[in-house]
Amino acid sequence: MVIEVDLVTVLRPLIALITFSVVAPLLGYIEGKLKLKRLTGAFATLGLLIALLLSIDMPKALLTEGAVASLSGFGPPLGVEIRVDALSIFMVLLFLGLGLLVSLYSIKYMEHDTGLDRYYTMLLLLVAGMIGVAIAGDFFTLFVFWELMSVSSYSLVAFRKYRWEPIEAGFKYLVMSSLGSLMALLGMALLYGYAGTLNFHALSMIFSTSSVDPFYGYITLTLIFVGFGVTASIVPFHTWLPDAHPAAPSPISAMLSGLVIKAAIYAIARSAYTIFNPLIFNYGVLFTVFAVVTTTVANIMALLQRDVKRLLAFSSTVNIGFILFGLGVAAYGLRIGAIAASLMGFIGALMHLLSHAIGKGLLFLAAGSFITRAKTRNIYDLQGIGRAMPWTGASFSIGLLSLSGAPPLAGFVSKLLLLMSGYSVGDAFMNVVTSLMLVNSVFAAAYYLRLLQVCVIRPKGIRAETSKEVSALIVVPLVLLMIALVAIGCYPWPLIEVAQKAASILLPLP
């Protein structure tokens, strides 16, 4: 049963972030006048910490029952709706947790850049936009926050505008993501034209009836999938990501791969499972086919890279493929009656979303530290740098091993759940698809281990000889993320339980 709550109760984290983002430029002005280094960064980090604490303080009943709040007293189908449940809380805590560590890392990492008031304002608005996407109960609200997230991320990719590379990458991201947003908006317009509402719950009631034309449903679903799929970096809509990562500051690379593309895959999952009942619409096959294509193409491209940030960017696309595979298994399994496999697939997708967000955030932050010291992104020029920077090297190693699926780390748990779910479906099609995903997992592990061998295991190269460990302000976020990967891998049950509650809310389980 969904409970009604006061709008302010649900929006407190969002209000905190927007308030801090409004004040941040003023702090930047004061910082410049009084020569107070790091003031704006510390202020933004405080804002994210407060928002995180407010999110943790949400009523526990929301995890099991969910809550809905309407703006100005107008409920569905007319009003703007905010909906909070186990899945949205899961995403909100992830956005705020990693965003907080990225902000803390940025205080020292970005201190020599100019215009940091703009940087931290955009960072706060980026997190606010992602939170809005997670708690939206209708497409209007989702799209408003989607655009806030998108505009903030364009600006952050092109933040170092005195160089051509960020300008080019930011513009490419802007063009591709805008086209994707227009496609998603067209899908929403078609839904509104057919149903007269943009409210998720109202749409789900309408599209769950047998009188709905399946062709119309598939057209709108495809538009929404492709539209959000651009930002999610699903092949063949992924080409902005490998350009954006090398150009963006490393903390923003961590945000893009760790969180922004996860917000997009969340938008796909929320739209598909809420509105288009997989018992009526057979999109499980679509998701799994795109998953195989995405992982295969991105794996091949990753193997060809010498730029460490481009390699990690293609790796992010690979892991989006794994998350999409879990979502596909969930939809496919429901349709053929494999309920246990369906539930496991959805749980595996959420766990992999979490493990990859933490692991890839860690890798980009660690790679940023390596690049700061060695002044290069070339993998082979970073030879042995992990030996010269032991804390960063250890964190980088754990991140790579987790993404490789090595036990007892978070990536092992999520990949195991995904592969088990695929084989548990028990039909020939899914067995073939799961086997291809297993091959891709082994393939990905090969270049992760190559990166580990070059950067950490080999003797120190020329650039490593002159490198030293980075500041504690940079090391602390790395160590916390490393601990999180180990802790989740050793004791995943509480998170699996939350993922199971999220699945029971979103999936039409019998």
- 251 lies in some domain: no
| pLDDT beyond 60 at 503 | yes
CA 119, 123, 128, 134 torsion-angle sign: positive
Whether 364 and 403 have beta carbons less than 8 Å apart is answered as no
* Highest mean pLDDT out of 8-22, 101-115, 186-200, 353-367: 353-367
Report pLDDT for 440: 95
- 399 lies in some domain: yes
When pLDDT is cut at 50, 70 and 90, the band that residue 223 belongs to is: very high
- 238 lies in some domain: no
DSSP state of 507: S
Report pLDDT for 36: 73
Report pLDDT for 49: 96
Whether 509 and 345 have beta carbons less than 8 Å apart is answered as no
DSSP state of 382: G
Whether 287 and 217 have beta carbons less than 8 Å apart is answered as no
Whole-angstrom Cα distance, residue 184 to residue 181?
5
Report pLDDT for 157: 92
Whole-angstrom Cα distance, residue 414 to residue 456?
25
Coil, strand or helix at 66: coil
- 236 lies in some domain: no
442-493 residue pLDDT tens: 999 999 999 999 999 988 888 888 888 888 889 999 999 999 999 999 999 9
CA distances in angstroms from 29 to 24, 33, 277, 318, listed in the order given: 9, 6, 52, 42
Average pLDDT score over residue span 34-59: 86
Report pLDDT for 63: 57
Q: Which residues is 81 bridged to in the sheet?
A: 70
Report pLDDT for 123: 95
Peptide bond into 408 cis (omega under 30): yes
Coil, strand or helix at 68: strand
Tokens encoding 240: 């902005």
Residues in the chain: 510
Report pLDDT for 507: 84
Whole-angstrom Cα distance, residue 29 to residue 362?
31
Question: According to DSSP H, which parts of 4-69 are helical?
Answer: 7-34, 39-56, 61-64
| pLDDT beyond 80 at 280 | yes
Average pLDDT score over residue span 300-310: 92
Report pLDDT for 57: 75
Average predicted confidence (pLDDT) for the chain: 89
Among 411, 379, 381, which Cα is nearest to 304's?
A: 379
* pTM of structure: 0.93
Q: Which residues is 69 bridged to in the sheet?
A: 82
- 148 lies in some domain: no
Report pLDDT for 104: 95
Report pLDDT for 32: 72
- 63 lies in some domain: no
| pLDDT beyond 80 at 61 | no
118-174 residue pLDDT tens: 999 999 999 999 999 999 988 999 999 999 999 999 999 989 888 888 899 889 999
Tokens encoding 25: 């430029």
Report pLDDT for 60: 59
- 284 lies in some domain: yes
Task: Tell me how far the alpha carbon of residue 262 is from its chain's centroid.
Answer: 2
Percent of the chain with pLDDT over 90: 63
Whether 363 and 477 have beta carbons less than 8 Å apart is answered as no
- 349 lies in some domain: yes
Backbone angles phi, psi at 84, to 5 degrees: -120, 125
Q: How many domains does the chain have?
A: 1
Whole-angstrom Cα distance, residue 298 to residue 311?
9
Backbone angles phi, psi at 83, to 5 degrees: -125, 125
| pLDDT beyond 70 at 69 | no
Whole-angstrom Cα distance, residue 317 to residue 171?
20
Structural domain including 293 reads: 278-510
Among 259, 261, 247, which Cα is nearest to 180's?
A: 261
Among 113, 141, 114, 145, which Cα is nearest to 129's?
A: 145
Higher pLDDT, 233 or 80: 233
| pLDDT beyond 60 at 73 | no
Higher pLDDT, 102 or 111: 102
Whole-angstrom Cα distance, residue 254 to residue 384?
23
Burial of 489: CB neighbours in 10 Å, binned 0-12, 13-18, 19+: buried
Coil, strand or helix at 35: coil
Whole-angstrom Cα distance, residue 135 to residue 129?
10
Q: Which residues is 136 bridged to in the sheet?
A: 82
DSSP state of 367: H
Provide the phi-psi class of 2: left if phi over 0, else alpha when psi is between -120 and 50, else beta: beta
Q: Which residues is 138 bridged to in the sheet?
A: 199
Question: According to DSSP H, which parts of 110-213 are helical?
Answer: 116-135, 139-157, 164-195, 200-207
Report pLDDT for 70: 57
Count the neighbouring beta carbons within 10 Å of the beta carbon of residue 449. 15
Whether 131 and 92 have beta carbons less than 8 Å apart is answered as yes
When pLDDT is cut at 50, 70 and 90, the band that residue 114 belongs to is: confident
6-39 residue pLDDT tens: 666 778 889 999 999 999 888 877 877 777 778 8
83-98 residue pLDDT tens: 888 888 899 999 999 9
Whether 361 and 258 have beta carbons less than 8 Å apart is answered as yes
